[in-house]
Amino acid sequence: MSIGLPFLCDYGRNIHIGNNVSVNMNCTFVDCNRIEIGDWVLIASNVQIYTAAHPVELAQRQTPDWKPGDEAYFCRTFALPVCIGSGCWIGGGAILLPGVTVGSGTVIGAGSVMTRDIPSNCVAAGNSCRVLRRIHGEGSESQNGFLQQL
């Protein structure tokens, strides 16, 4: 495993990394919940993985009766896990939002914003990230053979 510096995270203890993983420089992992990274994963520079979020509705986001100096935080937060399957490549500057899963063998294009799950063995890109094509077709021997070695 290699992690390029600088590397920023909230806690570190919620990040679970498999074997033969490379995380390039300037990555940020907001690990308020579990971040699971499989084996043989490449994470390019400037990738951001977020598990923390806030409610969309203002009334749900604000802490009721909050005043400056209160012990409680002024707004409510929650966190959802992020999972990256084995054999993935996450392109430079990609952003993975709370609760998303990247299926094994998938490539996420540079600059993509993942707002929902992406299945295994795909190339996906965009904002919001969507599947562009399958890799070697469904059930390809070369792709599946590699993942079986993991």
**Helical ranges in the chain per DSSP H:** 58-61, 141-149
16 in catalytic set? no
- Number of Cβ within 10 Å of residue 37's Cβ equals 23
Name the catalytic one among 54, 61, 76, 133.
Answer: 54
Q: Which residue type sits at 67?
A: K
Question: CA geometry: angle at 115 spanning 141 and 92, to 5°?
Answer: 65
Residues with active-site annotation:
54
